[in-house]
């Protein structure tokens, strides 16, 4: 995929949110590099279909384990089953989160406690649960990789709940990186921007059908990044696959933006 040996052959990975979107693209990237993968998501049928297709495509073992990361018992069972069926676990990619809706309440008056709780429950506490469950295995073998998928909403104050959930993932990442680093575990957070996934493709197709505007033109209008085009889920997956590999030893505790560049601000 990247033209170099990422040393992922035989590694065992869990990808939450793995039935579609960025999660599925990451699972494909890992399997293509020789990893065996457990896909986790709430909906059993799409998950099983994704696992079958990915196994056929890559020739690797790909298991589907329906899991609600809002339930700690289900998360612990996910990790236990992975270890039982694959013989261990080396990589965790957290991508299970409800996509942020452009129409969701953003201002102070409309941001209820429940809106914030819902966002934190899955994207922050869900990530904490999975990390807590895999950490003993990583520490015992003195090697592991945790990659948390957050979002560039962490760097923009355009929605209270969205910013809180994404920044919280970054805070979780840094704490885990500092604690687990001496035991051989690297932890990073990846910030996608607007990304071409099945969801975006369908939304643009619907808009195109209604307006008569070609999809390519609609994409061009949305692409406000430095490279001038929407980043595809597989391009996000390329970066995550590297971070999941032994070759990424020099990167931990930091945020890696994968949105094609944000014009203007300097981040350091």
Q: Give 37: exposed, middle or buried? Use CB within 10 Å, 0-12, 13-18, 19+.
A: buried
Q: 126 and 94 in contact (C-beta within 8 Å)?
A: yes
Q: What is the pLDDT of residue 2?
A: 45
pLDDT score of 177:
98
Residue with the bigger pLDDT between 93 and 210: it is 93
Q: How far apart are alpha carbons 144 and 137 in whole angstroms? A: 8
Mean pLDDT for 8-14 is: 97
The span from the CA of 29 to the CA of 99, in Å, is 21
- Mean pLDDT, range 230-240, rounded to an integer: 97
- Find the mean pLDDT for residues 50-73: 97
CA 85 to chain centre: 23
pLDDT tens, residue by residue, 122-152: 899 999 999 999 999 999 999 999 999 999 9
In three-state form (DSSP H/G/I as H, E/B as E, the rest C), the secondary structure along 156-171 is CCCCHHHHHHHHHHHH
What is residue 58's DSSP assignment?
A: H
**Predicted model pTM:** 0.93
**pLDDT number for residue 101:** 61
Choice among 53-67, 178-192, 208-222 with the minimum mean pLDDT: 208-222
The phi, psi pair for 196, rounded to 5°, reads -75, 110
Q: Is the pLDDT of residue 57 over 80?
A: yes
Name the one residue in this structure whose structure tokens are 């390329």: 238
Listed in sequence order, the residues at least 6 apart from 174 whose beta carbon sits closer than 8 Å to its beta carbon are 187, 253
Domains of the chain with bracketed CATH: 12-194+232-258 (3.40.50.720), 196-229 (no CATH)
Residue 112 has pLDDT above 80, yes or no: yes
């Amino acid at each position: 995929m990247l033209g170099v040996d990422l040393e992922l052959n035989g590694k065992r990975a869990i990808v939450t949110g793995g039935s579609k979107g960025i999660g599925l693209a990451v699972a494909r990237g890992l399997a293509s590099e020789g990893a065996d993968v457990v896909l986790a998501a709430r909906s059993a049928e799409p998950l099983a279909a994704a696992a079958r297709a990915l196994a056929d495509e890559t020739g690797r073992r790909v298991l589907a384990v329906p899991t609600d990361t809002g339930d700690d018992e289900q998360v612990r069972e996910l990790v236990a089953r992975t270890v039982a069926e694959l013989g261990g676990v080396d990589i965790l990619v957290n991508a299970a989160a409800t996509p942020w809706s452009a129409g969701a309440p953003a201002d102070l008056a409309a941001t209820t406690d429940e809106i914030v709780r819902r966002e934190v429950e899955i994207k922050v506490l869900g990530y904490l649960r999975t990390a807590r469950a895999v950490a003993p295995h990583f520490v015992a073998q003195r090697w592991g990789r945790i990659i948390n998928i957050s979002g560039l909403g962490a760097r923009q104050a355009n929605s209270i709940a969205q910013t809180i959930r994404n920044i919280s993932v970054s805070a979780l990442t840094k704490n885990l990186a500092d604690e687990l680093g001496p035991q051989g575990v690297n932890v990073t957070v990846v910030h996608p921007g607007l990304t071409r996934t099945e969801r975006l493709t369908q939304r643009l197709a619907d808009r195109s059908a209604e307006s008569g505007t070609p999809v390519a033109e609609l994409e061009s209008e949305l692409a406000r990044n430095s490279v001038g085009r929407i980043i595809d889920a597989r391009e996000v997956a390329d970066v995550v696959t590297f971070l999941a590999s032994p070759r990424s030893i020099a990167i931990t505790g930091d945020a890696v933006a994968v949105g094609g560049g944000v014009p203007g601000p300097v981040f350091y």
